[in-house]
Amino acid sequence: MTLKKKKTGRHEAPSGNGDTNVEACNEAGEDAKCLSIAECAYYKAESRGFEPGYELDDWLAAEGEISRSQSKPL
């Protein structure tokens, strides 16, 4: 899985390239959630220096974090 960066204000965030989970999520109609997961996973990968082989771990950890944050009552 490869992620390309695009400028979004102060930080750079990933954008889907057709080969990522972001594309599958867009088809499922969960654009905002999937983009949040992709961004979180990107920053996890960045923090380890983009060492290959942990893409799925990053995605799953990010998915859990985003799901937990969205289910917290305000």
32-74 tens-digit pLDDT = 888 999 999 999 999 999 999 999 999 999 999 998 988 877 6
- Distance (Å, rounded) from C-alpha 11 to C-alpha 61? 20
CB 62 within 8 A of CB 37: yes
Residue spans per domain, the chain: 16-66
Q: How confident is the model at residue 29 (pLDDT cuts 50, 70, 90)?
A: low
Q: How confident is the model at residue 9 (pLDDT cuts 50, 70, 90)?
A: very low
| Residue 60 CB coordination number (10 Å) | 12
Please tell me whether the overall predicted TM-score, pTM, comes out greater than 0.75 for this model. no
SS3 of 26-56: HHHCCHHHHHHHHHHHHHHHHHCCCCCCCHH
